[in-house]
Amino acid sequence: MEFDSFSDLWSPAEPAPHFHSLVLEHRRQIGGSCVSTGLSLLTGETPASIRQQINTQNPVSWSRYLQPHGFKLAYCATDLRRLRHYVDELLAHDDLFAISTYMPEDPRHIGADPEDDGWVCPSHFFLLHRDTVYDTAQHCPVTLREYRPVDQYVKRLFRVVPASHERGL
């Protein structure tokens, strides 16, 4: 395979969205619980219960947690780009994604050496279902086109797939 400077987020294209008719109920996070609160939108469990079952810095643990609920995470091909560069492709898939972004807008803070305790910089986790962002730090869901933190850099981007899907963590 030749070097290609552009890669699709998800290739080959799926014949149809996996979770087109899924209904999510928005919930606000308490403190720094974006991962567990975001996952709770998919499973209905309390964020506190989920926090006991996952490592917030380990997406493999998130995917393992989701599998008994019929979901798992599959990495999408990404690099250090601002979220706005992925908007059109995400909307074209019209499906369910889990997205993490770095909070600093200056890439020098993202690429800094870690502090003694391992801390580099804050990040945030949210769900995108079809064209709607479920960001548990926000008061209510908004469309991706209206989402203000679209200039943050992507840390991780996953497609949420059925637990039986061939791809995934």
List the domains of the chain with CATH numbers: 34-162 (3.90.70)
- Segments of 13-152 assigned E as strands: 71-75, 96-102, 123-129, 132-134, 142-143
Average pLDDT over residues 19-35: 95
* Average pLDDT taken over every residue of the chain: 92
Q: Name the percent of the chain lying above pLDDT 70.
A: 95
| Least confident interval from 92-101, 115-124, 130-139 | 115-124
Q: What is the pLDDT of residue 1?
A: 53
Q: What is the pLDDT of residue 6?
A: 66
Q: How many helices (H) and strands (E) does the chain have?
A: 5, 6
Reported as type and span, the H/E element at residue 154 is: strand 154-162
Q: What is the pLDDT of residue 66?
A: 98
**Rg from Cα positions in the chain:** 16
Distance CA 22, CA 128 (A): 12
Q: What is the pLDDT of residue 5?
A: 63
Give per-residue pLDDT as tens, 109-131.
888 888 898 888 899 999 999 99
Q: What is the pLDDT of residue 76?
A: 93
Q: Would residue 168 be called left, alpha or beta, if left means φ above 0 and alpha means ψ between -120 and 50 degrees?
A: left
